Amino acid sequence: MPFTIAIDGPAASGKGTIARALASHFGFRHLDTGLLYRAVGAKGGDPVAAAQNLGPDDLTRDDLRTAEAGQAASRVAAIPEVRAALTEFQRRFARSEPGAVLDGRDIGTVICPQAEVKLYVTASDEVRAKRRAIELDADVDRILTELRERDARDAARDVAPMRPAADAVLLDTSTLSIEQAIALAIEHAKRAGA
């Protein structure tokens, strides 16, 4: 059976960077599940119809990494019908050969509760805001406010709230270099049999 690594955590915690590095290291496929929700939000119109008709071209849009797309993703992710439309796709991807790394907000708790490895990657609000502000060339205070609003919305939603799985390993990247965080994640996955 293919090996699945589930990585959850808030925006700008480093989960995507770690997920891509793990996929590359182990030769697994990678899915940034937030990109699915960003694409649904960016399409506009009826979000349920957008989720049901999401195609490969929708995932290559240039505007999916903007702050606006992130806010839109958070809003559409709270709609149960949107989540249902995207859940099966994610579960099939998770069990694809030779293995998969998925990162998002509910991978270890909802999408892949049986994943062989579960990581919850986090960092302080201030560190995350600084990282995202550099990435987007934006105002740190504005980004901090937006991150906190999004985290609150994602943690409070009725369906699949953002939280660590009970058996997830917590990886706080606040004071770690990218290399240190990746090395810790790889070591944990190796111990689990990846």
Is 177 annotated as belonging to a binding site? no
- Fold assignment, 3-191: Rossmann fold (3.40.50)
Instruction: List phi, psi (to 5°) of 86.
Output: -100, -15
Omega before residue 98 within 30° of 0, cis:
yes
Is 60 annotated as belonging to a binding site? no
Is 13 annotated as belonging to a binding site? yes
State the CB neighbour count (10 A cutoff) for residue 172. Answer: 16
Is 122 annotated as belonging to a binding site? no
Q: Give domain limits for the chain.
A: 3-191
Whole-model pTM above 0.75? yes
Is 113 annotated as belonging to a binding site? no
Is 11 annotated as belonging to a binding site? yes
pLDDT per residue of the chain (194 residues) written in tens, 0 to 9: 789 999 999 989 999 999 999 999 999 999 999 899 999 999 989 999 999 998 878 888 999 988 888 889 888 988 999 989 999 889 988 998 999 999 999 999 999 999 999 999 999 999 999 999 998 899 999 999 999 998 998 888 887 889 999 999 999 999 999 999 999 999 999 999 99
Q: Could you tell me which residues are beta bridge partners of residue 31?
A: 102
